[in-house]
């Protein structure tokens, strides 16, 4: 029952936010299934990566994925993810837990601030867009590629990949706010693009984990499949739920999990 419930919740979170699956998947596996952080990280990556792939393919058919940017970020992330994975194996698990809790607090603050900021924006804001390093063409909605654009996107992917390997989280908590800050893309492009990067980088890290002797139990496979089903449901209901509502709820959950992780 825990595997089913936790998997559905994680997938739903990932489908709604494009960033929250791995952040909650690792604590869920630690508290719900009794795994340590190094044990939970690769299982979380498989679940989140597979679910992200399903969501990305759905959005790809709708033309919402900026796939060239996703591939560039994934390649950069694939180079740094093994470095994070190696560091995870030589770092004290207690320090990894503290690092994970800090990340949770930062994500909670960002989500809460983002929800408040969205509510303060006027409904029909037609003012000029601020200058961003990565801009989308008004004609076809795709990135205008410049050296600065490529360097910025590759940097986002590299940082995301390192934390993917280190903590077993998808990296969306870095990709989504970074794309929102550095680019003119809207959330209906950012979230599915983030999902594609998560899927590609997770695959690289998971292959590395299997070469180090990873084995998966039936209970863990159940968690993975339920995460995928939760993702499908999350992508279906995302347009019907006000973003500030689930962002605040997600921030509260992250804060509670961080406190429990530190106390443990």
- Give the pLDDT confidence of 168-216 residue by residue, as tens digits: 676 777 888 788 888 888 877 888 888 888 888 777 777 777 776 777 7
Residue 125 lies in a domain: no
Q: Measure the CA–CA gap between 102 and 114, rounded to whole angstroms.
A: 18
Give the three-class secondary structure for 165: helix
pLDDT of residue 21: 66
Which residues are CB-contacts of 6 (< 8 A; sequence separation ≥ 6)?
28, 29, 32, 33, 223, 226
Tell whether 19 is covered by a domain: yes
Single out the residue of 161, 173, 151 nearest to residue 79, CA to CA: 161
Does residue 22 lie within any of the structural domains? yes
Q: What is the pLDDT of residue 170?
A: 61
Rounded Cα distance between 210 and 168, Å, is: 14
**Which residue intervals of 91-146 are DSSP H helices?**
93-120
Which pLDDT score is estimated for 73?
A: 92
User: pLDDT value at position 126?
Assistant: 47
Q: Which residues pair with 134 in a beta bridge?
A: 183
Which residues in the chain come in under a pLDDT of 50? 123-127
Q: Is residue 96 part of a domain?
A: yes
What is the domain range of residue 220? 2-120+130-263
| The total number of structural domains that make up the chain | 1
Model pLDDT, residue 130: 59
Q: Could you tell me if residue 47 is inside a domain?
A: yes
Q: What is the pLDDT of residue 149?
A: 92
């Amino acid at each position: 029952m825990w595997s089913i419930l936790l998997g559905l919740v994680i997938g739903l979170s990932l489908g709604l936010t494009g960033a929250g699956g791995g952040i909650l998947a690792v604590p869920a596996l630690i508290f719900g299934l009794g795994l340590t952080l190094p044990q939970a990280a690769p299982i979380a990556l498989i679940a989140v990566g597979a679910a992200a792939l399903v969501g990305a393919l759905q959005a790809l058919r709708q033309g919402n994925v900026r796939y060239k940017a996703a591939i560039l970020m994934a390649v950069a992330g694939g180079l740094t993810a093994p470095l994070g994975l190696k560091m995870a194996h030589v770092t004290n698990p207690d320090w990894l837990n503290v690092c994970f809790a800090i990340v949770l607090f930062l994500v909670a603050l960002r989500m809460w601030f983002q929800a408040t900021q969205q509510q303060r924006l006027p409904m029909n804001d037609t003012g000029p867009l601020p200058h961003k390093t990565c801009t989308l063409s008004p004609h076809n909605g795709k990135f205008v590629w410049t050296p600065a654009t490529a360097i910025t996107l590759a940097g986002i992917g590299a940082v995301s990949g390192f934390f993917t390997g280190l903590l077993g989280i998808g990296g969306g908590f870095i990709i989504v706010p970074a794309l929102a800050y550095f680019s003119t893309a809207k959330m209906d492009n950012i979230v599915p693009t983030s999902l594609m990067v998560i899927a590609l980088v997770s695959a690289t890290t998971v292959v590395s984990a299997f070469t180090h002797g990873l084995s998966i139990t039936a209970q863990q496979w159940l968690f993975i499949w339920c995460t995928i089903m939760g993702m499908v449901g999350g992508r279906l209901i995302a347009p019907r739920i006000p973003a500030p509502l689930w962002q605040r709820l997600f921030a509260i959950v992250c804060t509670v999990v961080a406190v429990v992780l530190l106390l443990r």
